[in-house]
């Protein structure tokens, strides 16, 4: 549970909260971010290795019962249409650290090695019941959804970032799952 001063647990704290940006809508088999970029283009996000296995509503409801809440609609729609996968746009900025990471994959339900429930059990000693791991970067650090306000945090469990410490290693990255997708940028080696 969250303690005074923003502590998630004795090992994990998050930084400053920032304002929300524009929302997104879910359409068909891909998530379409409907916002105006500087050039006025619509950004269409695709996911490799998605829908493996396809998600049933029964499995989604079972997860929600296990965590004790109904997930936000944008994230539910993502799970229903994709059930995890590797995002086409991978670069994620961590504002409080003035740094970036590559989002390797989003977790799903019943996915081999990428199952939300398995990661929840694995991280329960560190995170308790307040957060849900929804994705991983290439170093195995998790993207966490706060189950109280749906904000997304980057948990630098490996202390990869210069701004990470034993006292502060989780950082705000988005106000919602849709906001997270909007913030991802195309990786250009």
For 35-52, write each residue's pLDDT tens digit.
Answer: 333 222 223 568 888 888
Residue 135 domain flag: yes
Residue 1 domain flag: no
Rounded Cα distance, 105 and 84, in Å: 7
Residue 12 domain flag: no
Domain count, the chain: 1
Residue 98 domain flag: yes
Burial of 146 (0-12, 13-18, 19+ CB in 10 A): middle
Residue 51 domain flag: yes
Residue 79 domain flag: yes
Average pLDDT over residues 125-151: 95
Note the pLDDT of residue 37.
33
The CATH number of the domain holding residue 131 is 3.40.1580.10
Residue 9 domain flag: no
Nearest-CA neighbor of 55 among 111, 105, 133, 103? 111
Give the domain range for residue 159.
25-183
Residue 18 domain flag: no
Average pLDDT over residues 16-35: 29
pLDDT in tens, 51-85: 888 899 999 999 999 999 999 999 999 999 899 99
Cis peptide before 120 (omega within 30 of 0): no
Burial of 52 (0-12, 13-18, 19+ CB in 10 A): middle
**42-46, 89-93, 104-108: least confidently modelled range:** 42-46
């Amino acid at each position: 549970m969250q303690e005074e001063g923003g502590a998630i647990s004795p090992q994990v704290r998050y930084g400053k909260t920032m304002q929300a940006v524009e929302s997104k809508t879910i359409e068909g088999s891909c998530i379409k971010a409907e916002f105006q970029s500087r050039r006025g283009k619509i950004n269409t996000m695709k996911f490799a290795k998605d829908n493996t296995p396809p998600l049933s509503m029964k499995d989604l409801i079972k997860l929600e019962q296990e965590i004790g809440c109904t997930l936000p609609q944008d994230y539910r729609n993502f799970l229903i249409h994709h059930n995890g996968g590797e995002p086409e746009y991978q670069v994620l900025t961590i504002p409080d650290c003035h740094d970036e990471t590559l989002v390797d994959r989003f977790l799903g339900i019943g996915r081999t090695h990428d199952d939300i429930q398995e990661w929840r059990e694995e991280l329960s000693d560190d995170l308790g019941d307040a957060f849900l791991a929804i994705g991983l970067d290439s170093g195995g650090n998790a993207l966490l959804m706060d189950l109280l306000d749906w904000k997304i945090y980057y948990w630098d469990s490996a202390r990869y970032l210069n701004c990470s410490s034993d006292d502060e290693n989780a950082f705000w990255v988005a106000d919602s799952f849709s906001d997270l997708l909007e913030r991802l940028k195309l990786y250009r080696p």
